Structure 1
Amino acid sequence: MLRFFDVLFAATGLLIGLPVLLLVALAGYLDTGSPLFRQERVGYRGQPFVLIKFRTMKCDTAWVASHLVDASSITRLGHFLRRTKLDELPQLWNVLKGDMSLVGPRPCLYTQYELIKERTQRGVYNARPGITGLAQLNAVDMSTPRLLAEMDQRMLATLAVPTYFRYLFLTLLGRGSGDSVIL
């Protein structure tokens, strides 16, 4: 049932959001010359997939977890995109393709060994990764792997249609945050 809502909302979001997507892509092109950011992440059952986002950092920024990146790497447009969460819009394509869900654990990099270990022990990879979830709504990011994996496990154990909609609603209201960066 949740997959049905994922497809419905992702397709609707892409159609309605098309003008915004095009405007942000143009602004991103002017900002960095490369508006889309693609990166291999750990997906459902530990399988790799390519996550798509709007670029918020300079093109030469190291490919490491966000909490390990210096804040000076974020562009002026990137600050705006992160604050408004518009950088996440292209992930609706990942949802539509089945790589992700709207609600689920945020996908990590294959280099985040401690988080992968913690999530594997807790069965987190038996669900699709998501754009938002319990950890994001409570400002728990990938800098605390054990806590994040515990929160992901708790979310997945209680995920049902009402909690799915609650997480989406709270996210749309602007609650929560993305991964932090070094200030």
Structure 2
Amino acid sequence: MLIRLFDILFSLTGLVLGFPVLVVLTIIGFFDTGSPIFRQQRVGRDKKPFTLVKFRTMKPETAHVASHLACASDITRFGHFLRKSKLDELPQLWNVLKGEMSLVGPRPCLFNQQELIDERDSRGVLQARPGITGLAQVNQIDMSTPTLLAETDQRMLQQLSIANYFKYIFMTVAGKGSGDRVKPS
């Protein structure tokens, strides 16, 4: 309950204070790809679908696959900057505010990632709100290793406390973790 309160407070604050940054990144993204906002159906809490929103980092014609299955050549120059700075995640504050996500939780996967869904389902991970960051992200564990990711997500949820919530957020803001890997070009 307290974590949800922090989610609402921080996402609302981030959206209000970050609004000028969101506008600038949207305008630059428009010139970069012609379509700066990326929307995609993801697996949410209790396997319910929701539409994840983030800044587009890949060419619009790129196939909708997990990042580790996409090619590095599909990422635009501006997209590289957004990914490295993690600014591509800013629009997800809207998903957090709406209650579809938390700031800290397992990264939401695609519905075609059945192995990961099964692994998470068997460990109770899908009963939690997906998150922008978490233990797996700060340890550079991504969706290319479904069993390890599901195990790490389960461990994070079992040990999630207010202290760990803030720890994962600060580690992410400080640059720990590099995001999802992509295939070399």
* Alpha-carbon distance in structure 1 between the residues aligned to 2:149 and 2:178: 13
Residues 19-34 of structure 1 mapped to structure 2, 5 A cutoff:
19-34=20-35
Amino acid at match of 2:54: K
* Alpha-carbon distance in structure 2 between the residues aligned to 1:177 and 1:105: 16
Residues 17-166 of structure 1 mapped to structure 2, 5 A cutoff:
17-166=18-167
Give the RMSD, CA atoms, in angstroms.
Answer: 0.4
Alignment length, in residue pairs? 183
Query: What's the offset of the Cα at 1:49?
Result: 0.1
Amino acid at match of 2:44: G
Query: What's the offset of the Cα at 1:177?
Result: 2.0
Amino acid at match of 1:32: T
Task: Map Cα deviations across residues 93-122 of structure 1 (whole Å, 9 max, x no partner).
Answer: 000000000000000000001000000000
Amino acid at match of 1:44: R
Which residue is 1:12 aligned to? 13
* Alpha-carbon distance in structure 1 between the residues aligned to 2:176 and 2:120: 24
Q: Secondary structure at 1:56's aligned position in 2?
A: coil
* Alpha-carbon distance in structure 1 between the residues aligned to 2:62 and 2:170: 33
Amino acid at match of 1:130: G
Which residue is 2:172 aligned to? 171
Query: What's the offset of the Cα at 1:178?
Result: 1.1
Query: What's the offset of the Cα at 1:143?
Result: 0.1
Gaps of at least 5 residues in structure 1 are none
Gaps of at least 5 residues in structure 2 are none
Task: Map Cα deviations across residues 17-64 of structure 1 (whole Å, 9 max, x no partner).
Answer: 111100000000001110000000000011000000000000000001
Report which stretch shifted further, 146-155 or 167-176: 167-176
Moved segments of 4+, more than 2 Å: none
Amino acid at match of 1:62: A
* Alpha-carbon distance in structure 2 between the residues aligned to 1:176 and 1:5: 22
Q: Secondary structure at 1:37's aligned position in 2?
A: strand
Which residue is 2:181 aligned to? 180
